[in-house]
Amino acid sequence: MRQSLSGLGAYPLVRPRRLRVDEATRTLVRENSLSVTDLVYPVFIIEGTGKREAIKTMPGIERLSLDQVLKDAERWVDLGLSALNLYPCIDLALKRSDGRESYNPDGLQQRAIRALKENFPQLKLLSDVALDPFTTHGHDGVIDEKGRVLNDESLEILAKQALSHAEAGVDMVAPSDMMDGRTRTLRLALEESGFTDVGIVAYSAKYASKYYGPFRDAIGSSSSLGKKDKRTYQMDPANIEEALREAALDVAEGADIIMVKPGMPYLDVVRRIKDELNVPVFAWQVSGEYAMHMAAIQAGYLPEDTILEALLAFKRAGASAIHTYFAVKVAEMLKHQ
Ligand code: PBG
């Protein structure tokens, strides 16, 4: 039973400030904490060697060639980061309307998984499963002549993509495409090929959000997508009951972890899924959220440690882990606290 609010009117018997008198007391009663092991760092990968490209709309974040990823990963591991999610930026010449480069066993994403696993076996690797980096039209699935995104045809290609990641050694595949039935399709494909321990992080509640803009610049899908939007598969920002249905479906189809995306504007969704389904929930502080915080910090409108407060809000809402572009910065900040 929840304690009644009998404290109201009980002053001076009850003084909540007694538990705030000093840092030691505050620490003893603290309900949530942020740790470096709560963070998943998204990494943008490009072809080539010795390459580091700045991303205009995401100050401080770069696209890295694989050798640079391997070099930087030493520092990420030293800082205590334990998980990465990999995003390939594919040369325009390799994009097709069916996104077939997505399951090339020697594609950029597959090579990155192999090289990272070989050099950093302890690092958990998640891989994005969706076709948008690989399609000429920028959609997450394949389309028909009228431009409609085809569900079942897309599933076949997504399953091939997920299998190619599993063969390369990925720990968990993370389908972000929002096609119906993709969790079941991927789970069955993985089971049939003996990848029983490869997990699925299902983006169950992925909203059709304006906050993805900088990411689409980063992977080069915004020019392919043009003025089109993803509202026939990503969710309407107005809905939460639908997010619960999507998450319940994904759990029934074999998802190990449920993802909510974007993050801070959707923490109510994280909490509801956590409370009602009792499964691990990950959340994504997406590119637009990163850009907003960076812009305010660079302008001097907010102090840098506002980032810690923002990420703590995810923990309070019930997220087990948080995808954030601030992961490296936060790992450094937490080390020096
Ligand atoms: C699409 C995908 C998107 C992000 C990750 N995977 C955006 C989109 O739907 O275009 C967004 C991540 C971010 O904004 O940081 N497969």
User: What is the pLDDT tens value at each position of the chain, 337 positions in all?
Assistant: 455 555 567 898 999 999 999 999 999 999 999 999 999 999 999 999 999 999 999 999 999 999 999 999 999 999 999 999 999 999 999 999 999 999 999 999 999 999 999 999 999 999 999 999 999 999 999 999 999 999 999 999 999 999 999 999 999 999 999 999 999 999 999 999 999 999 999 999 999 999 999 998 888 777 889 889 999 999 999 999 999 999 999 999 999 999 999 999 999 999 999 999 999 999 999 999 999 999 999 999 999 999 999 999 999 999 999 999 999 999 999 998 7
Match 């990163």 to its residue by tokens: 290
Match 């882990």 to its residue by tokens: 321
CA distance 191 to 211: 35
C-alpha of residue 169 to centroid of ligand 1, in Å? 23
How do strand 52-54 and strand 62-65 relate by DSSP bridges? Answer: antiparallel
> Which residues pair with residue 62 across a beta bridge?
54
Neighbours of 172 (CB within 10 A): 21
CA distance 282 to 320: 6
Stated pTM of the model: 0.95
Q: Which of 57, 216, 217, 325 to mutate to test the pocket of ligand 1 (most atoms within 8 A of CB)?
A: 216
CA distance 143 to 165: 23
φ, ψ dihedrals at 149, nearest 5°: -80, 120
C-alpha of residue 216 to centroid of ligand 1, in Å? 7
> 68: which residues sit within 8 A by CB, 6+ positions away?
50, 51, 52
Ligand 1 contact, 212 CB (< 6 A): yes
Q: Which of 161, 212, 230, 233 to mutate to test the pocket of ligand 1 (most atoms within 8 A of CB)?
A: 212
Q: Which of 58, 179, 230, 261 to mutate to test the pocket of ligand 1 (most atoms within 8 A of CB)?
A: 261
φ, ψ dihedrals at 104, nearest 5°: -65, 120
Whose alpha carbon is nearest atom 3 of ligand 1?
Answer: 212
**What residues are labeled active site?**
206, 261
Tell me the chain's radius of gyration from C-alpha atoms: 21
- Which tens digits make up the pLDDT trace of 267-298? 999 999 999 999 999 999 999 999 999 999 99
Ligand 1 contact, 109 CB (< 6 A): no
Ligand 1 contact, 132 CB (< 6 A): yes
pLDDT of residue 148: 96
Question: Could you identify the atom of ligand 1 that is nearest to the CA of residue 130?
Answer: 16
Ligand 1 contact, 128 CB (< 6 A): yes
Question: Could you identify the atom of ligand 1 that is nearest to the CA of residue 234?
Answer: 9
C-alpha of residue 182 to centroid of ligand 1, in Å? 17
> 266: which residues sit within 8 A by CB, 6+ positions away?
205, 207, 260, 283
pLDDT of residue 242: 98
C-alpha of residue 24 to centroid of ligand 1, in Å? 41
- Which tens digits make up the pLDDT trace of 301-332? 999 999 999 999 999 999 999 999 999 999 99
C-alpha of residue 163 to centroid of ligand 1, in Å? 21
pLDDT of residue 223: 80
pLDDT of residue 7: 53
pLDDT of residue 1: 47
C-alpha of residue 214 to centroid of ligand 1, in Å? 9
